[in-house]
Structure 1
């Protein structure tokens, strides 16, 4: 491999590496965090004393165009018990919004500030491209995400079949 070829490859990858270590798009525009939250699970355990509900077994949560699936989700209600303030999903989490999908070991959704923090071997797929990191913070209001912790990006350029 010549030095010129190697330099050209490095220059082509710099924008991708910069993008992966800063903000990336996730799910397009804003998410309505005041939209109803629908939860489906195999079982539910409610703790009235601390204002939590534990959903286990094939948990699926839908809010607007966002879908989260995990084996276990702890829902934390406000002090008045009138609305959900946070959700903690563990055991292998899949988050889908629009055309993007993310997987991780854990996801914490703070409904009040419209952020989801995914951690533990996070994998984001956007079409044929993929990114991995240890942590991703999704801002649902503007549809962006910040990835950190050894970020790796695989960008697919053009057609996979050579343009045929």
Structure 2
């Protein structure tokens, strides 16, 4: 049975006492991981390889992708451009110790795919989300950057402390 746990209180900074959550999915509010997906995407890395044939650019080594207040770091990032407009980024595929961070929240995973047009980020592989002093772990995290909402799947686990306790 899939148990869904709503953690919107965390995004509002209100800690709620609950036992560790064991289930297949958890809906999560992402007040801090919300971004204006129309802003330019800046990428820095140690190396860049461009493939004109398939419309990709592969960045390797200490890769950092910045869009507004959102930062994504990884070992390798492949930027896929639109076939009809090679100046328009369609997807960003990151692998190797991926970190997605804003001022208030951070998520870590093995891999991530960011579809720029719809503002969707899907992180997979040993995902760990840290927000408002709490953590949520699972195998897949899907985030809608436009709305600031998300879904954690794959044997979700979290520990939430009551407000004021340590």
1:48 equivalenced with 2:52 (yes/no): yes
Residues 38/59 of structure 1: CA separation in 2 closer, same or farther (3 Å cut): same
1:76 equivalenced with 2:80 (yes/no): yes
Higher relative contact order (CA 8 A, sep 6+): 2
Residues 136/55 of structure 1: CA separation in 2 closer, same or farther (3 Å cut): same
In structure 1, stretches of 5+ residues that fail to align are 1-11
1:153 equivalenced with 2:158 (yes/no): yes
**CA apart distance, 1:114:** 0.8
- What aligned pairs does 1:113-132 form with structure 2 within 5 A after superposition? 113-132=118-137
1:98 equivalenced with 2:134 (yes/no): no
User: Is the CA contact (8 Å cut-off) linking 2:91 and 2:113 kept in structure 1?
Assistant: yes
**CA apart distance, 1:51:** 0.3
Residue correspondences, number: 149
**CA apart distance, 1:160:** 4.5
What do residues 66-103 of structure 1 show as CA deviations (whole Å, max 9, x unaligned)? 00000100000001202100010001100002301000
What do residues 43-71 of structure 1 show as CA deviations (whole Å, max 9, x unaligned)? 00000111000000000000011000001
What is the alpha-carbon distance in structure 2 between the residues aligned to residue 18 and residue 121 of structure 1?
15
What is the alpha-carbon distance in structure 2 between the residues aligned to residue 159 and residue 86 of structure 1?
41
**CA apart distance, 1:20:** 9.1
Q: Report the counterpart of residue 7 of structure 1 in structure 2.
A: none
In structure 2, stretches of 5+ residues that fail to align are 1-16
Q: CA-atom RMSD, angstroms? A: 2.1
Which TM-score applies when normalising by structure 1? 0.83
Q: Secondary structure at the match of 2:155?
A: coil
Q: Report the counterpart of residue 9 of structure 1 in structure 2.
A: none
**Residue number among 131, 142, 150 corresponding to 2:147 in the alignment:** 142
Runs of at least 4 residues off by over 4 Å? none
**CA apart distance, 1:121:** 0.2
Residues 54/113 of structure 1: CA separation in 2 closer, same or farther (3 Å cut): same
Q: Report the counterpart of residue 29 of structure 2 in structure 1.
A: 25
**CA apart distance, 1:128:** 1.9
Which TM-score applies when normalising by structure 2? 0.82
